[in-house]
Amino acid sequence: MKRILAPIFLMVFLFPSLALGEKMGDLVERNGVYYKKFSNVPFTGKTTGKSQGSFKNGKEDGPFVLYYDNGQLSSK
């Protein structure tokens, strides 16, 4: 059991973006397609923070939830 948990633990702490997703501020929009900063590959994954949702091939995919600075729900 310890042999399984140790690599997972290390991955979460060494690569938090894999476990938590990206923040919208870490993405760049070019011609309606979102990319990670300094990348030419369209972003696929989840966003966290004030704007939470999923992207597939650089496009929004599914519902998005937006929050105000105080943490209250802004919109779904």
Helices (H) and strands (E) in the chain, counts: 2, 8
For residue range 9-55, list pLDDT tens digits in order.
Answer: 555 555 544 445 788 888 999 999 999 999 999 999 999 888 999 99
User: Residue 28: what pLDDT?
Assistant: 94
| 73 or 15: which leads in pLDDT | 73
8 Å CB contact between 57 and 42: yes
Q: Where are the domains of the chain?
A: 21-75
Indicate the range of 17-21, 57-61, 67-71 predicted with least confidence: 17-21
What is the spatial distance between Cα 41 and Cα 10, in angstroms, rounded to a whole number? 26
CA-only gyration radius of the chain, Å: 15
pLDDT class for 2, splitting at 50, 70, 90? low
> Distance (Å, rounded) from C-alpha 26 to C-alpha 38?
10
The enclosing H or E element of 35 equals: strand 33-36
